[in-house]
Amino acid sequence: MEIQNVMLFLAHLEFQKAYSPATVRAYATDLEEFEAYLQDISLSLGELEKIHKKHIQKYLAFLFQQKLAKTSMARKMSCLRSFFRFMLQKKIIHENPMTGIANPKQEIHHPTMLNVDQVVSMLDEEVEGDFSYRDKALLELLYGSGLRISEALALNLQDFHEERNTIKVFGKGGKERIVPLSDTSIKSLLIWLEKREIVAKNLQEKALFIGKRGKRLNRREANRIIEIYRKKVGIATSVSPHDLRHSFATHLLEGGADLRSVQELLGHSKIATTQRYTHLNMDMLVNVYDKAHPLAKNIKNDDNTPNKDNK
């Protein structure tokens, strides 16, 4: 799709907003699909002044008819919202057709949460072969530091700082953050780096995690690795890389970490995103309240006797 308005917008995302290549491609795909819809109704992104709110509403109805996931519809609306806002800023259009267009109400889906014993059993499981050290280092990073799988697979050799016990991560939108590493994660990474020198077929490859062909490990292979470990330790349900990240966040919160700190570790720009990872039960919330809130001293126990702090 070589529409000038679209190319201008994508260049803005890439060079001014510093969005990742994957994000720019996703926006390009969404705009391509919207353009295909517009052409079916004799419109085009090359004639923006002819696109009105009613066309966006009809497109949203079309997506509903296609039984597209609500998360996908929301992403497409977000893309169009950014696109038309940019066109408005550049004065290419004078009215924003996205005004008043809301995202479809999202269904709340919580990722699978492993308990501590399940995670430890996966991390302690031994699998033969030099690449098993790679697998162990990857699992340690996903759970021990809560990395997204895309972040872990994008890591390069120079991102690991052994002397600082940290790793440099590039998250969504190319945002950089420094993530602390656990002792076991550092140990696993150091062992893998030794083995990597033996198995690496391409010495010019900068990727921290490589596959058996010497190239950067891909997402499909990473998913397969986790499934191997999951089956070996007898976890009945499928486990994804995101499940390990979710377990990392939940276990931190259950251990007493504050939400803001977990937000920083996960690389979330909004605290509301971090809150979706919580599975805090009422007993834990009451316990936190009792310890932290000054009015908690006036709360009575279940047997209607005052707390000791009231005496």
Q: Residue 181: CA atoms inside 13 Å, Cβ hemisphere, count?
A: 25
Segments in the chain forming alpha helices (H): 4-11, 21-40, 53-65, 70-89, 116-124, 131-144, 149-153, 183-199, 219-232, 241-254, 259-266, 271-275, 282-292
What are the distances in angstroms from CA 22 to CA 12, 56, 68, 143?
A: 15, 25, 21, 23
Catalytic residues: 148, 172, 242, 245, 268, 277
What are the distances in angstroms from CA 49 to CA 44, 97, 198?
A: 10, 9, 60
Distance CA 47, CA 112 (A): 45
| Own/partner pairs, 81-89, CB within 8 angstroms, 24+ separation | 82/9, 82/13, 82/27, 83/6, 83/9, 83/27, 83/31, 84/48, 86/9, 86/12, 87/5, 87/9, 87/48
Distance CA 301, CA 114 (A): 32
Amino acid identity of 137?
A
Taking alpha carbons only, the member of 56, 93, 108 closest to residue 77 is: 56
Q: Which structure tokens are listed for 66?
A: 């296609």
